[in-house]
């Protein structure tokens, strides 16, 4: 069972208490943007085999959203952090770089 | 290639089985081919087969990172049906189902197609209405299905408990000509026929990059060196996002594990396929007597080829209410596959932003049933640039908001 720490209420939660909400840090495009940007925002996903930054909701707990950095191959969790950020905090990036030498945030997010 | 026949079995019995040929070759890659297909699963192999058979294109290589049929094609619960709601879906799935009926003869390979009938249980009022609507739609599409009441359900499958309590059986959508087939045999049969046409199936050959020049594909990088091509078919299911990234574009796809399990073999007790979508479970009995059970997908992206245990528990817990007898069964094996899921639960058969690169993916939890139809249409798309069977399934439908919404009718794994 996957367990994540909810940074909002501090509880260590089982995946049965959570709801996965897909890729995090999406750049929002709305009315007035190009068709391509709007499609990208709504539908196209990185779906990486490796490090994934993702939104979760503590659905059967405090009800709040948060972010997690997780490897989709090993299921290793590099940390969770509040949803009110544009990119992962430095300590999460460092934790990933330590385990995956050569990894960098820009490459992953573009 | 020597044909398989009753006579051949008798002949080989008399001479110690010394005369059987290899079913397919194990060639080294040539520097270039007209067409390269990535992924030797059912869809990739069927595409290659119909490229050869329908369009005479045989200078083809099929590249497989593992062994052929080792992906979802060899991991599914083999349900074949075509009772979808939307016209575009019904067309391609019904084409596939009808090709399955004669596939053993076409390929000279016994794929063990068993049209035993597929029953989708309605266990809520919402489902009753939904399946009645699907039955009407199917009538208009020329797909033979029928909405049946609980008594008929019980006649067709006596081991079902109709009364619930949580999920009483209120009826079912019944497709008498749906059924199952042997999944490995589908891959092997197509592979043997492709190899016979001179195509190269190259196993243990992972594609690691896609080469293009001026927006046009020129070949691929592989663990066995570069291979050139003027057309590239990407047919890699759960790994579609990974290969798309190599070619420089993103897809409206997320990859998640889907699990299945089988019980110890028991005497014949169920000769139809039953799907219970409300509780995310479905079951059939294999020829060996095992109860084959499939569940729902995991909730989050993963490439682990094994899923969360609590999903299996959920499936089995719910199925026991409808099939009380399985509560005494021991489960023998369980496994997972990585399925490629789109937002509207319909596949993508499409050109891509890179000229010459075509993609066939998004079959998600339910593409085994579609293999012959998908190969038929996708081969046409690759050969001629257009196919009536695949026209609605382009990537552009996401930009245009023209979804083929099967998520209500087929909101579960199958
Ligand atoms: C548990 C489970 C139950 C299912 N039950 C049903 C069912 O009852 N009925 C139904 O219709 N469908 C079912 N499905 C879905 C069905 O199995 C799939 O939709 C179908 O098999 C997909 O076939 P494919 O050929 O596209 O993919 P695959 O068979 O997965 O083939 C893709 C191949 O591409 C290869 N590959 C990937 N990346 C690379 C690379 N870089 N280089 C070279 N090769 C690569 C992989 O190794 C793989 O062999 C089920 C799936 C699962 C997992
Ligand atoms: Zn919380």
The pLDDT value given to residue A109: 45
The pLDDT value given to residue B100: 98
Closest C-alpha to B289, from B260, B272, B268, B319: B268
**With an 8 Å Cβ cutoff, are B310 and A48 in contact?**
no
The pLDDT value given to residue B27: 97
Question: CA-to-CA distance for B220 and B217, rounded, in angstroms?
Answer: 8
Closest Cβ opposite residue B250 in set A20, A46, A49: A46
pLDDT tens track for B134-169: 999 999 999 999 999 999 999 999 999 999 888 899
pLDDT tens track for A10-26: 999 999 999 999 999 99
Does position A62 have pLDDT exceeding 60, yes or no? yes
Residues in Cβ contact with B246 at an 8 Å cutoff, skipping those fewer than 6 apart? B207, B208, B209, B210
> Domains (ranges, CATH) in chain A?
3-109 (3.30.2270.10)
Report the SS3 class of residue A84. Answer: coil
Closest Cβ opposite residue A22 in set B239, B254, B310: B254
The pLDDT value given to residue A102: 87
Report the SS3 class of residue B287. Answer: coil
The pLDDT value given to residue A106: 67
Q: What are phi and psi of B187, to 5 degrees?
A: -65, -45
pLDDT tens track for A68-91: 999 999 999 999 999 999 899 999
Does position B414 have pLDDT exceeding 50, yes or no? no
**With an 8 Å Cβ cutoff, are B241 and A16 in contact?**
no
Does position B307 have pLDDT exceeding 50, yes or no? yes
**With an 8 Å Cβ cutoff, are B250 and A44 in contact?**
yes
Which residues of chain A does B399 touch, with a Cβ-Cβ cutoff of 8 Å?
35-36, 38-39
Count of CB pairs separated by less than 8 Å, A with B: 70
Question: CA-to-CA distance for B49 and B39, rounded, in angstroms?
Answer: 13
Structural tokens at position B183: 């999944």
CA dihedral B126, B127, B132, B138 (to 10 degrees): 130
Residues in Cβ contact with B382 at an 8 Å cutoff, skipping those fewer than 6 apart? B35, B47, B51, B231, B233, B358
Residue-averaged pLDDT of chain B: 95
The pLDDT value given to residue B165: 85
> Domains (ranges, CATH) in chain B?
27-82+84-108+183-252+344-400 (3.50.50.60), 118-178+255-342 (3.30.9.10)
Residue scoring higher pLDDT (A108 or A30): A30
The pLDDT value given to residue B411: 44
Query: Cβ distance A58 to A13 under 8 Å?
Result: yes
- What percent of chain B is predicted at pLDDT more than 90? 91
Element (H, E) at A35: helix A35-42
b vs e for B295-321, b when ≥16 Cβ sit within 10 Å of the residue's Cβ? bbbbbbbbbbbebbeebbebbbebbbb
Residue of chain A minimizing CA distance to B251: A44
Chain A residue set in contact with B, beta carbons under 8 Å: 1-2, 15-16, 19-20, 22, 35-36, 38-40, 42-49, 52, 54, 72-75
Average pLDDT over residues B388-404: 96
Chain A within 8 Å of B112 (Cβ-Cβ)? no
Q: To the nearest whole angstrom, how far is the Cα of B353 from the nearest Cα of chain A?
A: 12
Closest Cβ opposite residue B255 in set A16, A44, A47: A47
Whether B70 is in the pocket of ligand 1, judged by its Cβ within 6 Å, is yes
Does position B221 have pLDDT exceeding 50, yes or no? yes
Does position B277 have pLDDT exceeding 90, yes or no? no
Average pLDDT over residues B84-96: 96
Residue-averaged pLDDT of chain A: 93
Closest C-alpha to B140, from B186, B93, B87: B87
The pLDDT value given to residue B408: 57
Confidence band for B295, pLDDT divided at 50, 70 and 90: confident
Whether this model's pTM surpasses 0.90: yes
Q: To the nearest whole angstrom, how far is the Cα of A56 from the nearest Cα of chain B?
A: 10
E-strand ranges in B14-166 read 32-38, 60-63, 79-80, 118-122, 146-148
Does position B305 have pLDDT exceeding 90, yes or no? no
Which residues of chain B does A73 touch, with a Cβ-Cβ cutoff of 8 Å?
302-304
pLDDT tens track for B2-39: 899 999 999 999 999 999 999 999 999 999 999 999 99
The pLDDT value given to residue B81: 97
pLDDT tens track for B164-217: 888 899 999 999 999 999 999 999 999 999 999 999 999 999 999 999 999 999
Whether B307 is in the pocket of ligand 1, judged by its Cβ within 6 Å, is no
Q: What are the beta bridge partners of residue B335?
A: B260
Structural tokens at position B218: 């020129």
Alpha carbons within 13 A on the beta-carbon side of B251: 33
Does position A110 have pLDDT exceeding 70, yes or no? no
Does position B412 have pLDDT exceeding 70, yes or no? no
Which residues of chain A does B301 touch, with a Cβ-Cβ cutoff of 8 Å?
20, 22, 47, 52, 54, 72
Average pLDDT over residues B345-361: 97
């Amino acid at each position: 069972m996957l367990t994540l720490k909810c940074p909002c209420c501090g509880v260590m939660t089982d995946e049965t208490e959570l709801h996965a909400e897909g890729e995090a840090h999406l750049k929002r495009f709305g009315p007035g943007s190009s068709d391509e940007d709007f499609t990208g925002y709504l539908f196209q996903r990185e779906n990486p085999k490796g490090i994934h930054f993702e939104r979760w909701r503590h659905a059967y707990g405090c009800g709040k959203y948060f972010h997690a950095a997780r490897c989709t191959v090993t299921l290793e969790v590099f940390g969770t952090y509040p949803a009110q950020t544009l990119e992962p905090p430095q300590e999460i990036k460092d934790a990933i770089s330590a385990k995956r030498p050569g990894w960098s945030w820009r490459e992953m997010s573009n | 290639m020597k044909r398989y026949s009753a006579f051949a079995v008798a002949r080989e019995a008399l001479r110690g089985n010394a005369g059987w040929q290899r079913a397919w070759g194990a060639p080294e890659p040539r520097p270039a081919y007209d067409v390269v297909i990535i992924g030797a699963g059912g869809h990739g192999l069927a595409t290659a087969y119909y490229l050869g058979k329908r369009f005479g294109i045989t200078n083809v290589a099929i590249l497989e990172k593992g062994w052929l049929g080792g992906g979802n094609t060899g991991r599914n619960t083999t349900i074949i049906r075509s009772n979808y709601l939307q016209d575009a879906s019904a067309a391609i799935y019904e084409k596939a189902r009808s090709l399955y009926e004669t596939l053993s003869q076409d390929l000279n390979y016994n794929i063990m197609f068993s049209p035993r009938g597929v029953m989708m249980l309605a266990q809520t009022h919402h489902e009753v209405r939904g399946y009645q609507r699907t039955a009407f739609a199917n009538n208009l599409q020329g797909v033979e299905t029928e909405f049946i009441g609980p008594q008929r359900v019980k006649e067709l499958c006596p081991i079902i408990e109709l009364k619930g309590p949580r999920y009483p059986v209120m009826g079912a959508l019944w497709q008498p000509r749906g059924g199952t087939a042997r999944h490995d045999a589908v891959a092997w049969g197509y592979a043997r026929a492709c190899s016979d046409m001179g195509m190269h199936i190259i196993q243990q050959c992972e594609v690691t990059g896609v080469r293009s020049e001026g927006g046009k594909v020129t070949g691929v990088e592989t663990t066995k060196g570069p291979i050139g091509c003027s057309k590239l078919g990407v047919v890699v299911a759960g790994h579609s996002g990974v290969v798309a990234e190599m070619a420089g574009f993103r897809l409206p796809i997320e990859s998640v594990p889907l699990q299945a399990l089988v019980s110890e073999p028991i005497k014949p007790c169920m000769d139809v396929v039953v799907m219970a979508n409300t509780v995310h479970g479905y079951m059939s009995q294999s020829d060996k007597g095992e109860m084959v059970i499939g569940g729902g997908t995991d909730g989050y992206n993963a490439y682990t080829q094994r899923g969360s245990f609590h999903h299996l528990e959920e499936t089995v817990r719910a199925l026991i209410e409808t099939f009380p007898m399985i509560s005494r069964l021991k489960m023998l094996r369980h496994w997972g596959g990585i399925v490629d899921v789109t937002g509207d639960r319909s596949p993508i058969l499409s050109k891509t932003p890179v000229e010459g690169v075509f993609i066939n993916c998004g079959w998600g939890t339910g593409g085994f049933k579609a293999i012959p139809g998908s190969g038929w249409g996708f081969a046409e798309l690759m050969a001629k640039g257009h196919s009536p069977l695949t026209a609605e399934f382009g990537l552009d439908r996401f930009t245009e908001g023209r979804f083929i919404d099967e998520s209500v009718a087929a909101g579960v794994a199958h």
